[in-house]
Amino acid sequence: MLQNIITNLLMERSYNEKEYPAWLLFETENSLLIRDTQYDLLKTMLEDKENSIYQLNMGEGKTSVILVILNQMLADGKNISRINCLELLMGVMQELLRNKFRGLLQKKIYVMPFSREVVFDTGNVKKITEMLTECKNRKHVLLVTPEQRLCFQLKKQETFLEYLQSKDADDLFDWERHNDHHKYTHLANNKNPYILTEFQVVLRQALETLGYINSNNKILKYPSEGYNTFQEQVDHEISNISSQKEYHARPNVNATFVILWYNSRQLKTHLEQQIGLLYSIDEFKFFDILDESDEILRHGKELN
């Protein structure tokens, strides 16, 4: 090992070892020498301020050399180096990066397996914020697939939209809106008080039993567990009530879910907290590197 280190130190290099000491550590640990062509490419990529695509032939060290050193340089405590790879290559890329960064160049490899099924609540958003903060401050690496990154961006937009729809929440379940939510006219515009339909009477009893509203139609909680679970709960409770009262009509569960969701002040408060955390996530600066991808980013490098 010592002889290997001495041999590496005596070799003539294209770069300045004092300017790039981490490169010397990388060479020593991996028993290789950064080629002139690799150095020229790295220098060009680091100096290029525009989006760019670089193509290398197989065997020229695109993933094992260029990608690793590029991450070492870009993760500077100000930017988060984010590698985007195809989903099929996720496991291989994660193992490769762990092997490269587990020795002298110690870095953690963070992943963010985000999908539409992930519950986007305040707790999870806070965990993501904490993870990104540690990744940035400690100069670690974030590994994602393009689908995960884009899905997270879409979820952020959906959260902002949900907040706008719930900004007038008053914690009241509007039964007239429920009866005809596509042609909604507020109760204040009507001279006569609204009378519940037969199935709404049963539905209100079910919602009271489940703890969603009280006898004054005040919303006590919103269906945070999602629509499918809410539908199962309501259907089960309705079947219990209807079997006793010989009632077999099925309520509009979707309209019920929407009204509970967007008229809940509790949800509005949670969304405000999420938006505050999302604003803090938007303050992070990412430098995206794409490996084997046809996607074009606003700011980043692509290696093919």
Instruction: Establish if 108 belongs to a structural domain.
Output: yes
**What residues are paired with 110 via a beta bridge?**
142
Question: Would you say 110 and 140 are in contact if contact means Cβ atoms under 8 Å apart?
Answer: yes
Give the structural domain span for 102.
2-163+275-303
Contact 268, 163 (CB under 8 A): yes
Are both 41 and 127 inside the same structural domain? yes
Q: Is residue 179 part of a domain?
A: yes
Parallel, antiparallel or unpaired: strands 285-291 and 109-111: unpaired
Asked, for residue 170, whether it belongs to a domain, the answer is: no
Same domain for 102 and 14, yes or no, is yes
Tokens 């139609």 locate to 217
Collapsing DSSP states into helix, strand and coil, what is residue 95? helix
Question: Dihedrals φ, ψ of 229, to 5°?
Answer: -65, -40
Query: What are the contacts of 37-40 at 24+ separation with CB within 8 A?
Result: 38/65, 38/66, 39/14, 39/15, 40/14
The CATH number of whichever domain residue 11 belongs to comes to: 3.40.50
Q: How many residues does the chain have?
A: 304
Task: Read off the tokens for 58.
Answer: 């197989």
Distances (CA, A) of 144 to 103, 198, 274: 22, 52, 22
Amino acid 248: pLDDT:
45
Does 78 map to a domain? yes
Beta-ladder partners of 290: 84, 302
97 and 32 within one domain: yes
Do 76 and 103 sit in the same domain of this protein?
Answer: yes
Please tell me whether residues 90 and 121 are part of one structural domain: yes
Q: Do residues 121 and 21 both lie within one domain?
A: yes
- Token pair, residue 150, equals 């884009």
Whether 179 and 255 map to the same domain: the answer is yes
Confidence at residue 238, expressed as pLDDT on a 0 to 100 scale: 86
- Let me know whether 154 and 201 are in one domain: no
Whole-angstrom distance, CA of residue 1 vs CA of residue 234: 69
Q: Are the CB atoms for 59 and 135 separated by under 8 Å? A: no
Residues 113, 115, 117, 121, CA torsion sign = positive
In a domain, 152, yes or no: yes
> Residue 197 gets which letter from DSSP?
-
DSSP structural state of residue 284: S
25, 84: one domain? yes
The answer to whether residue 293 sits within a structural domain is yes
> Is residue 168 in some structural domain?
no
Measured CA to CA, the distance from residue 86 to residue 146 in angstroms comes to 7
Domain assignment present for 94: yes
Beta-carbon-side half-sphere exposure of residue 233 (alpha carbons within 13 Å): 19
Backbone angles phi, psi at 53, to 5 degrees: -125, 130
pLDDT for the residue numbered 182:
40
Amino acid sitting at position 51: N
Segment-wise mean pLDDT, segments of 10 residues, the chain, 304 residues: 61 80 86 86 82 76 88 90 90 92 88 83 87 94 92 87 85 86 46 79 92 93 88 88 56 84 88 85 88 56 62
- The answer to whether residues 131 and 242 belong to one domain is no
For residues 159 and 182, membership in a common domain is answered with no
- Cβ neighbours, 10 Å, residue 231: 15
- pLDDT given for residue 80 in this prediction: 94
How many other CB atoms are there within 10 angstroms of residue 255's CB atom?
Answer: 15
Token pair 């909604």 in the structure block, residue: 184
pLDDT at 10: 61
Which of 293, 257, 286 lies closest to 153 in space, CA to CA?
Answer: 286
Please tell me whether residues 252 and 292 are part of one structural domain: no
Number of DSSP helices (H) and strands (E) in the chain, helices first: 12, 6
Domain count, the chain: 2
